[in-house]
Amino acid sequence: MSGMTEGEACEWRMRGSLRLNAKMVGLRGSRGYKTEMSSIVAVLNQKGGVGKTTTAVNVATYLAREGQKVLLVDLDPQANSTSGLGVQRAEGEAGTYEVMLGQTKAMDVVKPVFDRLHLMPTDARLAALEIELVDQTDREKALRNALAGADDYDYVIIDCPPALSLLTINALTAADSLLIPVQAEYYALEGLSQLLQVVQMVRSGLNPNLELLGVVMTMYDPRTTLSSQVKGEVERHFGDKVFDVVIPRNVRLAEAPSHGKPIADYDKWSKGARAYKNLAKEVHKRVQKGKSK
Ligand SMILES: Nc1ncnc2c1ncn2[C@@H]1O[C@H](COP(=O)(O)OP(=O)(O)OP(=O)(O)O)[C@@H](O)[C@H]1O
Ligand SMILES: [Mg+2]
């Protein structure tokens, strides 16, 4: 693509990248759109490194700080939510893996991070789960069944792995709604049509009530035209499903996990902290609005 301006290159990439838009799969206020929402939220984008964990950890933390009782489920074998919150585990201690296999109950593995925020921790063993589940008849419902015993929460936030796999199908089957972080960069929209196809597949069978809660722009840099172009393109496809709050690129957000802290504890005055605090408010507002319809 030599010789193209940044804008032209962006346009080129996006052309054809999202043939199947939100409306086509019935997720954007078209007729028949089911508005009732409850509060199991899967944070999912099969693209790696777009801000899923950062979003899950910090939205969960701010919801809890605002008075909600929250369970954060680490559904990624990379265990970034677990380490990012500084949760220590003994070698071989039970977590998401054992709960989804039905070997132990959710409430027996959750760890308090602070009084209103609990974590269902995980480790690399979760990667083997897909193989373990493959012969089970209800393999897509393992997480839903596991969470049935964890109904004491106002919110369950699920941090998904970067894949469209049995683990993510489990998340979509268990969830009431889906939050998609989209990184404000060149290949942002790539793969979203595939993601929406999987969502549609789950809606037509395993979980007809699954909603799109919203799409949030992450790592936004207001100084680049690319960021605003990507945002414009995402808004064209997802309309008012795009959250008003935009998450800026902010080094404090990247530093916080290495200290085992959410941004609220690491640097509550940073731009990133303010953005996630506002995003949690917007998430809460949308969930409540969905419930009241
Ligand atoms: N707004 C931001 N500003 C700066 N850095 C960020 C921001 N959001 C996330 N990061 C950093 O970018 C990297 C990827 O973010 P994160 O781990 O949240 O993405 P992910 O989608 O969960 O990744 P994976 O697909 O591997 O699970 C991390 O190092 C994180 O600290
Ligand atoms: Mg992650």
Report the CATH number that the domain containing residue 233 is assigned in CATH.
3.40.50.300
**How many C-alpha atoms does 146 have within 13 Å on its Cβ side?**
33
Chain segment 38-85, per-residue pLDDT in tens: 499 999 999 999 999 999 999 999 999 999 999 999 999 999 999 999
Kind plus residue range of the DSSP H or E element containing 52: helix 52-65
Pocket probe for ligand 1: among 53, 157, 179, 255, the residue whose CB has the most ligand atoms within 8 Å is 53
Kind plus residue range of the DSSP H or E element containing 12: helix 6-14
Does residue 214 lie within any of the structural domains? yes
Domain count, the chain: 1
Does residue 21 lie within any of the structural domains? no
**Residue whose pair of structure tokens reads 């030599």 in the numeric block:** 2
User: Exposed, middle or buried by CB within 10 Å (0-12, 13-18, 19+), for 206?
Assistant: middle
Does residue 19 lie within any of the structural domains? no
Pocket probe for ligand 1: among 44, 46, 54, the residue whose CB has the most ligand atoms within 8 Å is 54
Does residue 11 lie within any of the structural domains? no
Global pTM exceeds 0.75: yes
Q: Which among 210, 148, 206 has a CA at the least distance from the CA of 175?
A: 210
Q: Please give the mean pLDDT across all residues of the chain.
A: 88
> Band of the pLDDT at 189, cuts 50, 70, 90?
confident
> Band of the pLDDT at 219, cuts 50, 70, 90?
very high
Does residue 113 lie within any of the structural domains? yes
Does residue 4 lie within any of the structural domains? no
What proportions of the chain, in percent to the nearest 5, are helix, strand and coil?
A: 45, 15, 40
Question: What is the extent of the structural domain holding 174?
Answer: 29-292
Contacts of 128 (CB under 8 A, 6+ apart): 97
